[in-house]
């Protein structure tokens, strides 16, 4: 988040609070506290950076949440109870925002070095060293190999 200049950020403070709540709905708190919280400063900074590239569906979703808060007589969208927020995120109006946020949150969270270390991975890109994979059962592909081609040869 240190690389971001506040004026470059397309989301205001209230939007950022709500996006943090949505991120918590997507990746909840680890009950064993072994995984870093998604709302940690470094992870949320990355989420906000990536979310700037998905500004349109996220803004549209935030506007829907604001109108819901107004219709329900809540002081602000930050006052929406967690269960109500979860129910709202599952509506068709919020589908594009939720889809965008799921992509943003997963990308930011699982690329974070603290998360990778908690999962037992070295916090580095997978290449050029690569990661060791267990040898699988290649016979599972036999059915696919024996299938007739379904594409047209050119």
Domain boundaries, the chain: 6-125
Task: Compute the distance between CA of residue 9 and CA of residue 97 in angstroms, rounded to an integer.
Answer: 18
Query: 91-138: per-residue pLDDT in tens?
Result: 877 889 999 999 999 999 999 999 999 998 888 877 777 777 678 889
Query: 64-75: per-residue pLDDT in tens?
Result: 888 877 777 776
Q: Nearest Cα to 47, choosing from 81, 76, 77, 17?
A: 17
Phi/psi of residue 120, each to 5°? 90, 15
Q: Nearest Cα to 46, choosing from 16, 78, 18?
A: 16
Our CA dihedral for 11, 13, 18, 24, rounded to 10 degrees, sits at: 100
Query: 79-101: per-residue pLDDT in tens?
Result: 777 787 888 888 877 889 999 99
Percent of the chain at pLDDT exceeding 90: 36
| CA separation, residue 112 to residues 5, 13, 105, 115, 122 (Å) | 21, 23, 11, 5, 11
Segment 9-32 shows an average pLDDT of 87
Q: Give me the chain's average pLDDT, please.
A: 84
């Amino acid at each position: 988040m240190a690389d971001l200049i506040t004026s470059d950020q397309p989301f205001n403070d209230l939007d950022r609070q709500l996006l943090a709540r949505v991120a918590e709905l997507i990746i909840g708190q680890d009950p064993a506290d072994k995984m870093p919280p998604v709302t940690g400063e470094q992870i949320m900074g990355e989420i906000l950076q990536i979310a700037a590239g998905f500004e349109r569906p996220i803004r549209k979703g935030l506007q829907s949440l604001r109108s819901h808060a107004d219709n329900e007589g809540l002081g602000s969208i930050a006052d929406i109870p967690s269960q109500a927020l979860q129910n709202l995120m599952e509506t068709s109006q919020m589908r594009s925002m939720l889809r965008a946020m799921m992509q943003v949150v997963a990308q930011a969270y699982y690329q974070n070095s603290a998360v990778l270390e908690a999962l037992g991975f070295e916090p580095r890109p997978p290449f050029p060293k690569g990661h060791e994979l267990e040898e699988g059962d290649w016979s599972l592909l036999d059915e696919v190999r024996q299938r007739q081609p379904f594409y047209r040869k050119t």
